[in-house]
Structures are given as C-alpha cells and as structure tokens.
Amino acid sequence: MMWLLYQFPLCPFSRKIRLLMSEKNIPYELRREDPWAASDLFFNLNPAGRTPVVVNEEKSLVLADSRAIAEYFEETVDHAPMLGGTAAGRAEIRRLVALFDENFYADVTAPLLSERMKKRLVLRQPPDSRALREAMKLAHGHLDYLDWLIDNRPWVAGSTMSMADLAAAAQISVADYLGGIDWAGHEQSRGWYAVFKSRPSFRPLLAERMDVIKPPAHYALLDG
C-alpha cells in the first residue's frame, strides 16, 4: 500500500512528514509541488494550497496539514511511536512541535525561504540583508534554547526520540540549507543534529539539491 506524498524539497513541514514516514517504515512516493505554482489538482486536495498532503488511493484517503497527518500515522501505525509516554510527556512533545512549527518557522525558516529562495527563483530580486541578519540573530536564540533542552535530556522532548525532534530537525535543516545557521557556540544542538543527520531517514534529505540554490559545504557532512 503506497502513499503519495505531495511535497516541496525545502518545505520544512514536508520534511517533517518524510522523516516520520521513514522512521515508521511507511512506504511513500514523492510528488513535487512548487509553492509558487501549485496546480488546480493540488488545491482540490488541499484548499489551503500548502504542502504536505498525503494521498492513499486504495483507501480513497486525502490528508492535509502536517500535524493532522502526523497524528493520523501515530494512531494507525504502531511502529516507532513519536507521540508516546504519559499525558504530560505527550503535552511536552506537542508544545515543542508547536514551538518549531510556529515560532522557529516564523522567525527563521520563513524569512530565509522568502529572501534566499522566493526572491531568487520567483521574484528575481536580491535578498534584503537586514531581514537575513535578523533571521540569523533569531536563529541563535532558538539554538540557545535547544542547547538548554539537550543539556537536560537526551532528546528534544525527553528520554526518547519524538515528533519534537522531527519538527526541530525539519526546520533547522531547511534553515541550514539556506545558510542561515551559524553553529558556533551551539555544541549541544550541533551534537544532537549530527546524530540525527546520520539516521537512515535523514540521508535522502541531505542528498537532495534545489536547482540554482546550493547549500553551504557543511550541510551534508555527518559530523558538520
């Protein structure tokens, strides 16, 4: 039973679901959907017009929104639970998923995507250096907090890997691809991320390249 995953390579929410499906051994096939040129078919699948969307034709099932998709797979696939533990533990995982999906995305990933991808590929404009500096400054604050979390627990939300790790790694990997992460002074975050990069679920993401936009040299290094 194969799922179709409509995604965009630098969409962090698509990356989160790719990581989740790989960790849970759920087979899928990728369908690329560029955010600036979404098809009518795609808007029929998701009226919000955003990736990711997963489709299972055998079940006549269409799921949209990365958190809804993640919850569905958590409820239907027992392998590699990513929202496990106590009620309090699950609340902590969800809090941290929201922190990365909403705050890190708004502060860091979205401005980097706008300045370094959309302006280059779609608008044909130079990036706003002030907006880039601000995004990179805010990234430091988020990594300071991640350093503190990893100082106090082996994984982002506790003693085991969870959706919080997938959400954090998805956002950080896109920001890192776009040259927005300065790892200096963030040894805990860097160590956690290096472990994550070496997982089989993450390898395909590190190997992919966007046309025109190339990542920094350290992006795909497993100890970088």
161-186: pLDDT as tens digits: 999 999 999 999 999 999 999 999 99
With cut-offs at 50, 70 and 90, classify the pLDDT of residue 195: very high
pLDDT for res 183: 96
Does residue 159 carry a pLDDT above 90? yes
Q: What whole-number distance in Å separates Cα of residue 49 and Cα of residue 33?
A: 10
In this model, does residue 215 exceed pLDDT 90?
no
Residues 9 and 93 in one domain: no
Which CATH number fits the domain that encloses residue 135?
Answer: 1.20.1050.10
Amino acid identity at 45: L
Question: Domain for residue 129, yes or no?
Answer: yes
Number of domain units in the chain: 2
Condensed to tens digits (0 to 9), the pLDDT of residues 60-69 reads 999 999 999 9
Q: What is the CATH number of the domain that holds 28?
A: 3.40.30.10
**Amino acid, res. 147:** D
Q: Are 7 and 33 in contact (CB under 8 A)?
A: yes
Query: What's the rounded mean pLDDT across residues 200-205?
Result: 94
pLDDT band at 125, cuts 50/70/90?
Answer: confident
Same domain, 62 and 114: no
Q: Are residues 63 and 93 in the same domain?
A: no
Considering the domain architecture, whether residues 68 and 106 belong to the same structural domain is answered as no
Q: What confidence category does residue 123 fall into, taking pLDDT thresholds of 50, 70 and 90?
A: low
Name 51's Cβ contacts closer than 8 Å, sequence gap at least 6.
6, 7, 8, 11, 13, 14, 33, 35
The boundaries of the domain holding residue 147 are 87-207
- Identify whether 221 is part of a domain: no
SS3 56: strand
Prediction pTM value: 0.95
Are residues 91 and 202 located together in one domain of the fold? yes
Residue 31 lies in a domain: yes
CA–CA distance, 74 with 84 (Å, rounded to integer): 9
For residue 124, name the pLDDT band (cuts at 50, 70, 90).
confident
**Distance between CA atoms of residues 99 and 26, nearest Å:** 26
**pLDDT reading at 198 higher than 80:** yes
**Residue 168 shares a structural domain with residue 120:** yes
Under 8 Å between Cβ of 51 and 92? no
Domain boundary among 45, 76, 107: 76
The answer on 114 and 64 residing in a single domain is no
Token code pair at residue 120? 């280059």
Q: Are 104 and 177 part of one and the same domain?
A: yes
* Average pLDDT, integer, range 12-16: 98
Where a domain ends, among 23, 42, 76?
76
Which stretch of DSSP H or E encloses residue 115? Answer: none
**Tokens found for residue 158:** 């506790």
Among 76, 110, 136, the domain-final residue is 76
| Residue 67 sits in the same domain as residue 92 | no
Which tokens sit at 76? 């239907």
* Nearest Cα to Cα of residue 188 among 179, 178, 196, 176: 196
- 190 and 110 within one domain: yes
Nearest CA to 92 among 46, 153, 48, 5? 153
The verdict on 101 and 49 lying in the same domain is no
Residues 62 and 96 in one domain: no
- Domain-located, residue 187: yes
Q: What is the CA radius of gyration of the chain?
A: 17
98, part of any domain = yes
